[in-house]
């Protein structure tokens, strides 16, 4: 069976680097044209150029996805350029870790705005097109800590747990329009976000991973490709855990 992805159009937030870039590359290898959204303009441009090399159309879109006006403008640009939006991957995310008693209100707001509000804003804009065409695939990148909690990450874990509720509600609200919405909860994936952790913390985490290695951005990207493909057309409102077994 074909994946049904060839010729589709995707918007990937936080697509310039890390997991987002791997998602862009995996989608491009399946024939999907991509709007690469990021705060980092030159890195987004670099990713878009690499995707064009892989044989698809791609553009870089500089936007802060926690800002409604940026999000509106980026979807207008994508529809202008590609004529439609079929796939949305809400991947942009940040951390501002510290224990709750030390956490500043700005740290709470920044993480909730980038990790959660952005998914609300982007989904709303994407749905304008998806509901009309009665087709859409939305994937939200949550985290294992949404399910386990993690000291020092009260803002991050709350934002990632909230994404699961958002996912299930969107799945129910728009199933009748041919739109699926699922989440992926990665475990420990090797990117700049996790490179910043102290070595002893990394060693301790590795001990808790039955498959005995950290994940790669490609491990997450392959799950995204599956969820947006025709192979997953009967799957909605679900969370796929990509974590080497560290949480089951
Ligand atoms: P990353 O390397 O830090 O990449 C995140 C990307 O999002 C960056 O390019 C970043 O740009 C961009 N971004 C941040 N804020 C943005 C905003 N307001 N508007 C637009 N783009 C923005 O992180 P990653 O490790 O690839 O993580 C990707 C996603 O997976 C995140 O949602 C993260 O929470 C989730 N996740 C990661 C892991 C892991 O182990 N790495 C585990 C579970 C879940 P800037 O550099 O300019 O900020």
**Ligand 1 atom 6: the closest Cα is on which residue?**
14
Dig out the tokens for 29 from the structure: 């290898």
CA of 15 to the centre of ligand 1 (A): 8
**Ligand 1 atom 38: the closest Cα is on which residue?**
189
CA of 140 to the centre of ligand 1 (A): 12
Residue pair 155/210 in contact by the 8 Å Cβ criterion: no
* 156 is known as an active-site residue: yes
Residue pair 98/111 in contact by the 8 Å Cβ criterion: no
Q: Does pTM top 0.95 for this prediction?
A: yes
- What is the structure's pLDDT at 86? 98
Long-range contacts of 156-161 (CB under 8 A, 24+ apart): 156/95, 156/96, 156/97, 156/111, 156/115, 158/112, 159/93, 159/111, 159/112, 159/115, 159/116, 160/115, 160/185
**Ligand 1 atom 18: the closest Cα is on which residue?**
64
CA of 113 to the centre of ligand 1 (A): 13
Bridge partners for 183 per DSSP: 140, 239
pLDDT tens-digit series, residues 172-193:
999 999 999 999 999 999 988 7
Among 15, 16, 19, 246, name the best residue to mutate to test ligand 1's pocket (greatest count of ligand atoms within 8 A of Cβ).
19
**Ligand 1 atom 32: the closest Cα is on which residue?**
93
CA of 92 to the centre of ligand 1 (A): 5
pLDDT tens-digit series, residues 90-120:
999 999 999 999 999 999 999 999 999 999 9
Task: Please report the atom of ligand 1 found closest to the CA of residue 188.
Answer: 40
- What is the structure's pLDDT at 194? 82
- What is the structure's pLDDT at 196? 85
CA of 91 to the centre of ligand 1 (A): 7
- What is the structure's pLDDT at 29? 98
Ranges of the chain with pLDDT below 70: none
Q: What b/e sequence results for 98-111 when a residue is b if at least 16 CB atoms lie within 10 Å of its CB, and e otherwise?
A: eeeeebeeebbebb
Which residues line ligand 1 at a C-beta cut-off of 6 Å? 13-14, 16-20, 37-40, 63-66, 91-94, 114, 141, 143, 186, 188-189, 191-194
């Amino acid at each position: 069976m074909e994946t049904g992805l060839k010729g589709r159009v995707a918007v990937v937030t936080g697509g310039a680097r890390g997991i987002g870039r791997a998602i862009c590359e995996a989608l491009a290898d399946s024939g999907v044209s991509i709007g690469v959204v990021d705060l980092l303009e030159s890195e987004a441009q670099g990713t878009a150029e690499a995707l064009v090399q892989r044989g698809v159309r791609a553009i870089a879109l500089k936007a802060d996805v926690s800002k409604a006006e940026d999000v509106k403008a980026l979807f207008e640009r994508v529809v202008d350029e590609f004529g439609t939006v079929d796939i949305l991957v809400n991947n942009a995310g940040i951390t501002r870790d510290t224990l709750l008693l030390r956490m500043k209100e700005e740290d709470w707001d920044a993480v909730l705005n980038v990790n959660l509000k952005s998914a609300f804003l982007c989904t709303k804009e994407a749905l304008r097109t998806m509901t009309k065409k009665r087709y859409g695939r939305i994937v939200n990148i949550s985290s294992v800590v949404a399910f386990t909690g993690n000291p020092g990450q009260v803002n991050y874990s709350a934002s990632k747990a909230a994404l699961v509720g958002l996912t299930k509600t969107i799945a129910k609200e728009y199933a009748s329009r041919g739109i699926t919405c699922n989440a992926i909860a990665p475990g420990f994936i090797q990117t700049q976000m996790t490179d910043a952790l102290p070595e002893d913390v990394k060693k301790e985490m590795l001990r808790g991973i039955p498959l005995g290695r950290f994940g790669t951005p490609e491990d997450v990207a392959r799950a995204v490709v599956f969820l947006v493909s025709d192979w997953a057309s009967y799957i909605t409102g679900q969370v796929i855990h990509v974590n080497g077994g560290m949480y089951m």
